[in-house]
Amino acid sequence: MKWMYLAIAVVVGAFCALTLMAIGLGGRDVPDAGAAQEAARKWTGWHETDPPRRRAGGWEVDVRRPDGSIVEVNLGRELELVELDEEVGPGGVPAHDELTGERRLQAVAAARPRAGAGVVRSVERELDGTIEVDFVLPDRTVMEVDLDAGLRITGADREELGDE
Protein backbone atom coordinates (compact mmCIF):
# COMPACT_ATOMS: atom_id res chain seq x y z
CA MET A 1 0.00 0.00 0.00
CA LYS A 2 2.85 2.33 0.89
CA TRP A 3 4.36 1.78 -2.58
CA MET A 4 1.10 2.64 -4.29
CA TYR A 5 0.93 6.02 -2.51
CA LEU A 6 4.54 6.66 -3.40
CA ALA A 7 3.87 5.81 -7.06
CA ILE A 8 0.83 8.11 -7.13
CA ALA A 9 2.86 10.92 -5.54
CA VAL A 10 5.61 10.50 -8.15
CA VAL A 11 3.11 10.56 -11.04
CA VAL A 12 1.30 13.62 -9.66
CA GLY A 13 4.63 15.37 -9.03
CA ALA A 14 5.84 14.63 -12.56
CA PHE A 15 2.56 15.87 -14.01
CA CYS A 16 2.82 19.12 -12.02
CA ALA A 17 6.43 19.62 -13.07
CA LEU A 18 5.61 19.08 -16.76
CA THR A 19 2.65 21.45 -16.52
CA LEU A 20 4.77 24.17 -14.93
CA MET A 21 7.47 23.70 -17.58
CA ALA A 22 4.93 23.98 -20.38
CA ILE A 23 3.49 27.16 -18.90
CA GLY A 24 6.96 28.64 -18.38
CA LEU A 25 8.15 27.82 -21.88
CA GLY A 26 5.00 29.19 -23.45
CA GLY A 27 5.95 32.72 -22.40
CA ARG A 28 9.47 32.39 -23.81
CA ASP A 29 8.58 32.07 -27.46
CA VAL A 30 11.13 34.65 -28.62
CA PRO A 31 11.18 35.69 -32.29
CA ASP A 32 14.26 34.40 -34.10
CA ALA A 33 16.79 36.26 -36.26
CA GLY A 34 14.87 35.58 -39.48
CA ALA A 35 11.72 37.08 -38.00
CA ALA A 36 13.72 40.12 -36.87
CA GLN A 37 15.08 40.65 -40.41
CA GLU A 38 11.60 40.37 -41.88
CA ALA A 39 10.22 42.87 -39.35
CA ALA A 40 13.03 45.33 -40.18
CA ARG A 41 12.23 44.99 -43.88
CA LYS A 42 8.56 45.71 -43.20
CA TRP A 43 9.33 48.75 -41.04
CA THR A 44 11.66 50.29 -43.65
CA GLY A 45 10.37 49.02 -46.97
CA TRP A 46 13.86 47.95 -48.09
CA HIS A 47 15.05 44.40 -48.64
CA GLU A 48 18.80 44.10 -47.97
CA THR A 49 19.73 43.56 -44.31
CA ASP A 50 22.83 42.63 -42.36
CA PRO A 51 22.63 39.76 -39.87
CA PRO A 52 20.54 40.81 -36.84
CA ARG A 53 22.13 41.31 -33.42
CA ARG A 54 20.53 40.61 -30.02
CA ARG A 55 20.22 43.75 -27.91
CA ALA A 56 18.51 44.16 -24.52
CA GLY A 57 15.99 41.39 -25.13
CA GLY A 58 15.20 42.66 -28.63
CA TRP A 59 17.02 42.93 -31.94
CA GLU A 60 19.08 45.42 -33.96
CA VAL A 61 19.06 45.03 -37.73
CA ASP A 62 20.99 47.20 -40.20
CA VAL A 63 19.01 47.77 -43.39
CA ARG A 64 20.90 48.89 -46.47
CA ARG A 65 19.05 51.23 -48.83
CA PRO A 66 19.65 51.30 -52.59
CA ASP A 67 21.29 54.76 -52.26
CA GLY A 68 24.07 53.33 -50.05
CA SER A 69 22.67 54.60 -46.77
CA ILE A 70 22.20 52.35 -43.75
CA VAL A 71 19.46 52.60 -41.16
CA GLU A 72 19.66 50.67 -37.88
CA VAL A 73 16.28 49.29 -36.88
CA ASN A 74 15.90 48.63 -33.15
CA LEU A 75 13.13 46.16 -32.34
CA GLY A 76 11.65 45.19 -28.98
CA ARG A 77 10.90 41.74 -27.59
CA GLU A 78 7.81 41.31 -29.77
CA LEU A 79 9.49 42.87 -32.85
CA GLU A 80 7.79 46.20 -32.20
CA LEU A 81 9.65 49.25 -33.51
CA VAL A 82 11.72 50.94 -30.79
CA GLU A 83 13.88 53.27 -32.89
CA LEU A 84 15.22 53.98 -36.37
CA ASP A 85 18.77 55.39 -36.44
CA GLU A 86 20.44 56.44 -39.67
CA GLU A 87 24.01 55.10 -39.50
CA VAL A 88 25.31 56.15 -42.91
CA GLY A 89 23.76 58.73 -45.22
CA PRO A 90 23.13 58.43 -48.98
CA GLY A 91 26.21 57.60 -51.04
CA GLY A 92 28.19 56.81 -47.89
CA VAL A 93 28.21 60.40 -46.56
CA PRO A 94 27.92 60.92 -42.79
CA ALA A 95 24.46 60.44 -41.31
CA HIS A 96 22.42 63.51 -40.30
CA ASP A 97 23.23 62.93 -36.61
CA GLU A 98 27.01 62.60 -37.11
CA LEU A 99 28.93 65.39 -35.34
CA THR A 100 31.44 67.35 -37.40
CA GLY A 101 33.92 70.16 -36.83
CA GLU A 102 35.15 71.45 -33.49
CA ARG A 103 32.40 69.78 -31.43
CA ARG A 104 33.40 66.39 -32.90
CA LEU A 105 37.04 66.97 -31.96
CA GLN A 106 36.02 67.95 -28.42
CA ALA A 107 33.83 64.85 -28.04
CA VAL A 108 36.61 62.55 -29.26
CA ALA A 109 39.11 64.15 -26.85
CA ALA A 110 36.65 63.77 -23.95
CA ALA A 111 35.95 60.09 -24.75
CA ARG A 112 39.55 59.09 -25.56
CA PRO A 113 40.60 58.28 -21.95
CA ARG A 114 38.01 55.49 -21.82
CA ALA A 115 38.90 54.06 -25.26
CA GLY A 116 42.67 54.30 -25.27
CA ALA A 117 44.32 53.59 -28.61
CA GLY A 118 41.14 52.99 -30.58
CA VAL A 119 40.37 54.53 -33.98
CA VAL A 120 37.26 56.72 -34.13
CA ARG A 121 34.44 55.06 -36.07
CA SER A 122 31.59 57.52 -35.42
CA VAL A 123 30.53 60.45 -33.24
CA GLU A 124 26.73 60.71 -33.06
CA ARG A 125 24.50 63.33 -31.50
CA GLU A 126 21.51 61.70 -29.78
CA LEU A 127 18.02 63.23 -29.55
CA ASP A 128 18.42 63.99 -25.83
CA GLY A 129 21.60 66.04 -26.40
CA THR A 130 24.02 63.31 -25.38
CA ILE A 131 26.84 62.12 -27.63
CA GLU A 132 27.98 58.60 -28.50
CA VAL A 133 31.60 58.11 -29.62
CA ASP A 134 32.53 54.72 -31.07
CA PHE A 135 36.17 53.58 -31.26
CA VAL A 136 37.45 50.46 -33.04
CA LEU A 137 39.98 48.92 -30.64
CA PRO A 138 43.13 46.97 -31.59
CA ASP A 139 41.37 43.68 -30.66
CA ARG A 140 38.71 44.44 -33.34
CA THR A 141 35.94 45.21 -30.83
CA VAL A 142 34.18 48.55 -30.50
CA MET A 143 34.21 50.73 -27.40
CA GLU A 144 31.07 52.88 -27.31
CA VAL A 145 31.60 55.86 -24.97
CA ASP A 146 28.58 57.92 -23.91
CA LEU A 147 28.98 61.61 -23.07
CA ASP A 148 26.52 64.07 -21.59
CA ALA A 149 25.92 67.50 -23.16
CA GLY A 150 28.84 68.86 -21.09
CA LEU A 151 31.15 66.20 -22.64
CA ARG A 152 31.50 64.22 -19.40
CA ILE A 153 31.67 60.42 -19.70
CA THR A 154 28.44 58.83 -18.48
CA GLY A 155 29.06 55.26 -19.59
CA ALA A 156 30.91 52.91 -21.88
CA ASP A 157 30.09 49.59 -23.49
CA ARG A 158 32.17 47.13 -25.50
CA GLU A 159 30.50 45.67 -28.63
CA GLU A 160 31.37 43.38 -31.50
CA LEU A 161 32.77 45.08 -34.62
CA GLY A 162 29.68 44.24 -36.71
CA ASP A 163 27.38 46.21 -34.39
CA GLU A 164 26.41 49.67 -35.55
Fold topology of 101-160: SHC Adaptor Protein (3.30.505)
Q: Do domains 33-92 and 101-160 have the same CATH topology?
A: yes
pLDDT of residue 150: 96
Q: How many CB atoms neighbour CB 154 within 10 A?
A: 11
Q: In the CATH scheme, what is the code of domain 33-92?
A: 3.30.505.20
pLDDT tens digits in sequence order for the chain, 164 residues long? 555 544 454 444 445 444 444 444 444 456 799 999 999 998 888 879 999 989 878 999 989 888 888 888 889 999 988 877 777 778 877 777 888 889 999 999 999 999 988 888 889 998 898 999 988 888 888 899 999 999 999 999 998 765 54
pLDDT of residue 39: 92
Please, are residues 33 and 51 in contact by the beta-carbon 8 Å criterion?
yes
pLDDT of residue 3: 52
Which residue ranges make up each domain of the chain? 1-28, 33-92, 101-160
pLDDT of residue 139: 87
Please, are residues 40 and 63 in contact by the beta-carbon 8 Å criterion?
yes
Please, are residues 121 and 87 in contact by the beta-carbon 8 Å criterion?
no
Cα–Cα nearest to 160, from 70, 67, 52, 57: 52
pLDDT of residue 26: 42
Exposure class string for 26-53: b at 16+ Cβ within 10 A, else e: eeeeebeeeebbebbbebbebeebbebb
